[in-house]
Amino acid sequence: MKLEKITKRPRGACKDSSARRYDDACGAAHALDLIGERWALLVMRELMFGPKRFSDLRADLPGISANVLTQRLERLEEIGALTRRKLPPPAASHVYELTPWGYEIEPVLSVLGRWAARSPLHDPTLPLSAASLMLSFKTMFDASRAKGLNARIGFRIGDETFLVRIHGGKCDAARQALEGAEVVFAGTARAIAAAVYGGAPLAALEAEKALAIKGDRALAERFTRLFPLPQKA
Amino acid sequence: MKLEKITKRPRGACKDSSARRYDDACGAAHALDLIGERWALLVMRELMFGPKRFSDLRADLPGISANVLTQRLERLEEIGALTRRKLPPPAASHVYELTPWGYEIEPVLSVLGRWAARSPLHDPTLPLSAASLMLSFKTMFDASRAKGLNARIGFRIGDETFLVRIHGGKCDAARQALEGAEVVFAGTARAIAAAVYGGAPLAALEAEKALAIKGDRALAERFTRLFPLPQKA
DNA sequence: CGGCATCCGGGAAGATACTG
DNA sequence: CAGTATCTTCCCGGATGCCG
């Protein structure tokens, strides 16, 4: 039982120190060297609306383990995509924030999202984070359906608030106070997604207490129809 | 010797069949479930200019192993991003070709490439495939530098030929015969990249026999300046 | 030759427990 | 709360062998 442990090593080579990189000048390949590891891009996604703490990231990325999150944050800092800051005295905690170049990852998230939305295997009923939902609005917004619309729609998801502005055929979203919102959705990101992408009637979601709407109801209804999903491939 | 094969499985759980997926409705997360595994996106990149055989892919993706390539091709076929066809009788071989939806991955490659080009760690002198080079032209083309230019530039790389058309402020590339090319570059993709992105003088590359240019030399010179790299982050 | 099956070694990912 | 330490499982990469 205590036999051949080390003896033979002629097979199963191990290209020494060359790590696991694509040695490829192609930009896409280099991007994968930088952020192609598991969870890396989703960590950046969660930071797209501003800094967060370690535990916020853990909570918003269900399934990631603490050690993997630590490794990804270290790597993202190493490549210059995020910075780690110490909060002022009251809180002895750290926050992680994307650098300007880090924020430029947004088009990658958009384009990947649009591509995957055409996948027959895509299941829009799975849970999602608040950041994912806000990004999906920016990604899936259909300007032609928002002709002449100028609105501020608020969202209260957990203890965060977001303001989505629709103005001049553009759709922008930010994590900020709800001042000036003509209507406010309060609920889980999943419930809001059910209304916008799943076609669930607002009244039904409210009846289930999954969603609460305050303000201009007609605007809320119209809002849910501004984000058509593409045809499946 | 035929004992405990399954017996103990108390720790290091294995969430049964849930595999290693992000259970996340976010489009980007789903995209990573589909093509986030190592090499998957680069396999698609190599197919962007038309079908290839297994051995072509292996040759153009230095470092991939046969079993991994097999797995990736199976997965890409499973999700509907590519198809596997049998060639007509003379050749008993197979070719792999992207589906229309698979071809739509191009913006992902572009956007990733543009983002990574700003990375301080990006090394444009590494080797690259012909497909990568042609994609980089489409990605990095600067219309403002090509004002009034209308040209067909040919490339002979290994035993493949590509035609790049610059016309009306657009830049397109295809794997096809070189008919109508006003100038033809022949050499490795790396040598051509050295001229376009590394600023290497054409004369020097020709002197080293790394590159051969036939046709309109002035056009060749101008072509090399149409693809500026972005500022580093 | 083309493509796949299989085995092996190493390392990354994941779960849990633990520390400041 | 914010991570670190450790252990297990699984993926990746290389080599070899089979089969048409």
Contact flag B30-A128 (C-beta cutoff 8 Å): no
Q: Is the CB of B218 under 7 A from strand D?
A: no
pLDDT at A21: 87
Q: Are strands A170-175 and A160-167 parallel, antiparallel or unpaired?
A: antiparallel
* Whether pLDDT at A134 is above 90: yes
Nucleotide nearest to B65 (CA to C1'): D13
pLDDT at B9: 36
Q: How far apart are CA B190 and CA A189, in angstroms?
A: 47
Residues of chain B in contact with residue A27, where contact means CB-CB under 8 angstroms, are 112-117, 122, 136, 139
pLDDT at B93: 78
* Whether pLDDT at A167 is above 50: yes
Distance A37 CA to D12 C1' (A): 13
Q: How far is A99 from chain B (nearest CA, A)?
A: 9
Q: Is the CB of A13 under 7 A from strand D?
A: yes
Mean pLDDT, chain A, rounded, equals 90
Residues of chain B in contact with residue A113, where contact means CB-CB under 8 angstroms, are 26-28, 31
Residues of chain A in contact with residue B124, where contact means CB-CB under 8 angstroms, are 25
Which domains does chain A carry? 27-108 (1.10.10.10), 123-223 (3.30.1050.10)
Residues of chain B in contact with residue A62, where contact means CB-CB under 8 angstroms, are 23
Q: By the 8 A CB rule, do A102 and A47 touch?
A: yes
Average pLDDT along chain B, 233 residues, taken 10 residues at a time: 32 48 93 94 96 92 90 92 80 86 97 97 93 98 95 96 96 96 97 96 96 97 97 93
Reduce the DSSP state of residue A174 to 3 states and report it.
Answer: strand
| D9 C1' closest Cα residue | B12
Reduce the DSSP state of residue B132 to 3 states and report it.
Answer: helix
Contact flag A32-B42 (C-beta cutoff 8 Å): yes
Reduce the DSSP state of residue A80 to 3 states and report it.
Answer: coil
Contact flag B63-A22 (C-beta cutoff 8 Å): yes
Q: In the structure encoding, which two tokens stand for residue A219, read together?
A: 């605007």
Contact flag B108-A123 (C-beta cutoff 8 Å): no
Q: How far is A108 from chain B (nearest CA, A)?
A: 6
Strand D contact residues in chain B (69-108), C-beta within 7 Å: 71
Contact flag A112-B108 (C-beta cutoff 8 Å): yes
Which conformational region is residue B77 in: left (phi greater than 0), alpha (psi within -120 to 50 degrees), or beta? alpha
Q: By the 8 A CB rule, do B58 and B64 touch?
A: yes
Cβ-based contacts with strand C at under 7 Å: A 8-9, 11-12, 14, 19-20, 37-39, 63-68, 71; B 11-13, 15, 20, 53-55, 66-67, 70, 73, 93-95
pLDDT at A11: 39
- Residues B63-99 pLDDT 10s: 898 989 999 999 999 999 999 988 766 666 789 999 9
| Residues 6 or more apart whose Cβ sits within 8 Å of residue B150 | B166, B167, B168
Q: Is the CB of A2 under 7 A from strand D?
A: no
Q: How far apart are CA B173 and CA B49, in angstroms?
A: 8
Nucleotide nearest to B52 (CA to C1'): C2
* Whether pLDDT at A14 is above 90: no
Model confidence at A18, pLDDT cuts 50, 70, 90, reads: low
Q: How far apart are CA B163 and CA B50, in angstroms?
A: 14
Q: Report chain C positions within 7 A of protein CB atoms.
A: 1-17
Classify burial at B132, counting beta carbons within 10 Å of its beta carbon; exposed 0-12, middle 13-18, buried 19 or more. buried
Closest CA to B105 of B48, B58, B61, B28: B48
CA angle A80–A83–A89, rounded 5-degree value: 165
Q: How far is A158 from chain B (nearest CA, A)?
A: 17
Q: Which residue of A has its CA nearest to B99?
A: A233
For chain B, the first-to-last Cα distance in angstroms comes to 58
pLDDT at A110: 98
Q: In the structure encoding, which two tokens stand for residue A68, read together?
A: 């993997």
Q: What percent of chain A has pLDDT over 90?
A: 85
Q: Which helix (H) or strand (E) holds B124?
A: none
Report how far apart, in Å, the C-alpha atoms of A123 and of each of A112, A197, A199, B23, B105 are.
Answer: 15, 11, 14, 9, 19
Q: Select the residue from B15, B42, B111, B196 to test the A interface by mutation, using most A Cβ atoms within 10 A.
A: B111
Q: Select the residue from B23, B75, B77, B112 to test the A interface by mutation, using most A Cβ atoms within 10 A.
A: B112
Distance A59 CA to D1 C1' (A): 13
